[in-house]
Structures are given as C-alpha cells and as structure tokens.
Amino acid sequence: MTERLYFRQLLSGRDLATDDMMARQMVNFIYLIGDRETGEAVVIDPAYDVATILETLEADGMRLTGVLATHYHADHIGGSMMGFNVAGISELLEHTSVPIHLQRDELDYVTKTTGVSKNELTLHDSGDIVQVGSLDIELIHTPGHTPGSQCFLVANRLVSGDTLFLDGCGRTDLPGSDPHAMYESLTQKLSKVPDKALLYPGHFYSPQPYSSLGETRRENYVFKPKTEEQWMMMFGH
C-alpha cells in the first residue's frame, strides 16, 4: 500500500503563492494525499494559490476528489484575515466541484469565514473515514484551538493542522478556543496514535518540517505537564 500512497507537503510562500506576503508570513503547509494507482487525491487546507495546487496535481497525474479542512481559520481554508482576503475553498469551488470535508462543530465558523454555502460542505464526526482510492483517511476530532479542529490519520502519518506542532500547539486564547479541550485532545484523543507515526503540522514553525510523534511527545513542552491542573497553570491564561 505504501507504494500507492501519494503524499506531498507544500509550503506556502515557497512551493506556491511565492508572491503572496500573507502566505510567506504564515508559512502554512498544504498537503496533497492520494492513491497513485487510481489517481484520486484530496488536498488539506488549500488556502493559497488554488491554481498552482490544481496544476501540481495534474502534473503528478492526479485528480482532485475532495478537500479536508483541519479548521476554519482563513490561513487554512480562506476568508478574511488581518485586512487581507485569502481565496481558499471559495475559489477552489469555482474551478471544480468536490466535497469539502469538515468536522460538524466547525460548520457555522466555516460558512461565516469563507462565504461557502452549507450545501457545499460535508459534515463529519470523529472516527469517520474518508476514502481516497484504496486509502482510508481517519478523521480525529481534536477541539481546543477551535471547536471543530480535526486531525487526519493516513498510512501512519498524522496531519495535525493547528492542534499540534513539533514545538508547541495551537493557540487557546482565540474565539472558540478552549485550553481544557486542548489538553484532552493532546492527552486522550491523540493517545491512540502510535509513537512511530509521523507528525505533519499545519505550519513550518520548527527547524524540521515533520517528525515522529514519539519524538514530539518526548521533546515538545506541551507534553511536560502531567495533570490537567499543571496544564492549566501553563496554558489556561
């Protein structure tokens, strides 16, 4: 199965959207995941430079069959942010009609941020599977950064959005954030993902673009607190 896996990690401002100041500043990762044999692929968090994303897939012999959204923030799926308008999924849907997969608790935030109709969005619960060719992508609801944040587990790779970085985790002082929920997500909801899994975060905030989850659990300071009380003393604001 590994040889069928199509997996690309693209850095905004470097691999695409090179002239976009916001993309260069936010250093988001965009992921392309698919089945090389069937040619089907999904994109995770296509906020920037939709044209290059589609051109990259075509050049690789892949066709887009869906979008996976880790959460509603504009630097991940588009919308208005800091006075800038990020094209994201609304522009992508002008080029192709594919389902936009998101966690159901994120629905109202996504429609408000992007202007995309509810009819264009496919809602999921934790544990749901999105099939891409022969690949199963498991959706794991990990609230904390936002109410409907989710991670994606596929072929021993965890794409974590802004839930977990190699160093640190997503902010919990923003509208819809919850430090209690973040603690539970990191220590309980992601606990079933093995140490050998590779962690692919939503931003390039560390010297390396990815790492093993085991190393992250050992080195990342967000795992240092041993109780929720200790966690809240550090991250409870």
Is domain 2-235 in CATH 3.60.15.10, yes or no? yes
Domain boundaries, the chain: 2-235
Distance of alpha carbon 127 from alpha carbon 216, whole angstroms: 23
State the pLDDT confidence band at 219, using cuts at 50, 70 and 90. Answer: very high
pLDDT greater than 70 at residue 237: no
Using CB atoms within 10 Å of the CB of residue 232, give its burial: 0 to 12 exposed, 13 to 18 middle, 19+ buried: middle
Alpha helices in the chain (DSSP H): 21-26, 50-59, 74-77, 88-95, 107-114, 179-184, 213-219, 228-235
C-alpha distances out from residue 142 to 60, 153, 193, Å = 31, 12, 13
Give the tokens for residue 65: 């069959």
Q: What letter does residue 225 receive in the DSSP assignment?
A: -
| Of 89, 37, 88, 87, residue with least CA distance to 63 | 37
Q: Tell me what the mean pLDDT of segment 41-58 comes to.
A: 98
Degrees, nearest 5: CA angle 101-107-108: 155
Kindly report, residue by residue over 113-172, the tens digit of the pLDDT: 999 999 999 999 999 999 999 999 999 999 999 999 999 999 999 999 999 999 999 999
Is the model's pTM score more than 0.85?
yes
Degrees, nearest 5: CA angle 150-20-23: 25
Distance of alpha carbon 139 from alpha carbon 118, whole angstroms: 20
Kindly report, residue by residue over 196-210, the tens digit of the pLDDT: 999 999 999 999 999
Contacts of 29 (CB under 8 A, 6+ apart): 9, 10, 11, 12, 45, 200, 201, 202, 203, 204, 209
